[in-house]
Chains A and B, each alone.
Chain A
Amino acid sequence: MASNTHDNVAPGRLHLRLRLPFSWDCIESVRQAVSAVIAASLNNELLAEQMAMVASELLENAVKHGEAGPIELCLEATDGQLDVAIGNAIGPDSVSVDQLSARIEFIRLFPSAREAYLAALSAVYEQGLASSSSTQSTLGLARIAAEGECLLQCNIPRPGWLTVSALRRIPPQQAPVYPVSEESAQ
């Protein structure tokens, strides 16, 4: 029978939850940590780098647009899918949720994430030095979709709390690596 170092996590699954400070300075450390965890558990350096970028961009958005307070990062691999979710506090009258939803919808309008990313870069190019913060935020999300090959979702699981998730399929050859007992190996 397969064993696992964590009793509450089923074999073959990755589950990591971190509570982070509301700080720009911690983002690079988190990016490197996410990369290391995925590389070690899923044995895939490319996927690790992609999802580290995704976590990093989502964290940046949380710090830029969220309310001051703890930020939660959840990294989960289940059933061939990898999910990076960032949760942060939002104000009662926050307009950032509507803006975020609109940006995600904008990305989904395109036939492919790459085309959405090109459109976001084109907007920067067209606006030149006067490019707006809205354009910049869309660029980060489009990058997640295109470079990270992720599907973006956002929801409000409880009042005053926003969660943004980036999901992607794990390529079949990169099934999660987990401890196997001698008995199951036979």
Chain B
Amino acid sequence: MNLAPRKICRGSTVVEVGLSPGNVVRVSGVFRETGEEPWLQDLLVSIHEEAQRIRLDELLLDLRDLTYANAEGWRNLVLLLRLLKGPPRASYKLLMLTNMAHQWQRVGIPTLSVFGGSMLNIESSSTSQEPDLADAGRRSWKA
């Protein structure tokens, strides 16, 4: 089972859900929201619920082309980790694909491990180009 494919564009942010091989959520552009209208929070909650419903083993969150996110962006990532760890504990694990060429990710992303624990794996690259998202996941969890 795959996530239902959809694409959401809000301001300078683009979120693509259900990219091949079906369990990929790609966030790109610049995320700068006020928090007054928490559309990304709502979207992440719906993706989480969908992932639970279809019994995903793994969700790939691809942030490599997200060049900047404000503090509200960090809040959303932490909230997703909160959903992941439950209760109830999520049926899937989260693989976060990051790009160390972006300063905000290089400095901030490792902090998320504190909250994700064993449910979160972070794979880093220094570019936005990776040959195979599915392969990235397999490599990561085998390790």
Residues of A within 8 A of B (CB): 24, 27-28, 31, 46, 49-50, 53, 56-57, 60, 64, 117-118, 121-122, 124-125, 128-129, 131, 133, 136, 139-140, 143, 147
| CB of A60, distance to nearest CB on chain B (Å) | 6
Q: Bound complex: CA of A49 vs CA of B79, how far in Å?
A: 25
B134 on interface, CB distance cutoff 8 Å: no
- The stretch that binds A, out of B14-22, B107-115, B121-129, is B107-115
Q: Bound complex: CA of A50 vs CA of B71, how far in Å?
A: 13
Contact A136 B35 (CB under 8 A): yes
Contact B104 A139 (CB under 8 A): no
Contact B115 A121 (CB under 8 A): yes
| Majority DSSP secondary structure for residues of B touching A | helix
Contact A121 B74 (CB under 8 A): yes
Contact A46 B78 (CB under 8 A): no
| Majority DSSP secondary structure for residues of A touching B | helix
List 3 tightest A-B contacts by C-beta distance, closest first: A49-B103, A140-B71, A139-B71
27 A/B residue pairs, CB under 8 Å, sorted by A: A24-B34, A27-B32, A28-B12, A53-B68, A53-B103, A53-B104, A56-B70, A117-B111, A118-B111, A118-B114, A121-B111, A121-B115, A124-B75, A124-B79, A125-B78, A125-B79, A125-B81, A128-B79, A131-B75, A133-B35, A136-B35, A136-B75, A139-B71, A139-B74, A139-B75, A140-B70, A147-B107
Contact B30 A125 (CB under 8 A): no
Number of residue pairs A-B, CB distance < 8 angstroms: 67
Q: Bound complex: CA of A31 vs CA of B104, how far in Å?
A: 13
- Which chain A residue shows the least CB distance to B112? A121
Q: Bound complex: CA of A129 vs CA of B74, how far in Å?
A: 13
Contact A129 B75 (CB under 8 A): no
Contact A128 B82 (CB under 8 A): yes
Contact A136 B104 (CB under 8 A): no
Supplied contacts A56-B32, A143-B71, 19 more A-B pairs, CB within 8 Å? A24-B34, A28-B12, A28-B68, A46-B103, A50-B103, A53-B68, A53-B103, A56-B70, A57-B71, A60-B70, A121-B114, A122-B115, A124-B74, A125-B79, A125-B81, A131-B75, A133-B35, A140-B71, A147-B108
- Which chain A residue shows the least CB distance to B33? A24
Instruction: Out of A28, A49, A64, A118, name the residue touching B30 (CB < 8 Å).
Output: A28
Instruction: Out of A117, A125, A129, A136, name the residue touching B72 (CB < 8 Å).
Output: A136
Given contacts A46-B103, A143-B74, contact A31 B114 (CB under 8 A): no
Contact B107 A31 (CB under 8 A): no
| CB of A25, distance to nearest CB on chain B (Å) | 9
**Interfacial chain B residues near A24, Cβ < 8 Å:** 32, 34
**Interfacial chain A residues near B107, Cβ < 8 Å:** 50, 147
- Which chain A residue shows the least CB distance to B102? A49
**Interfacial chain A residues near B32, Cβ < 8 Å:** 24, 27-28, 56, 60
CB 8 Å contact bits of B55-79 with A (1 = contact, 0 = none): 0000000000000101110110011
CB 8 Å contact bits of B24-64 with A (1 = contact, 0 = none): 00000010101100000100010000000000000000000
**Interfacial chain A residues near B111, Cβ < 8 Å:** 117-118, 121
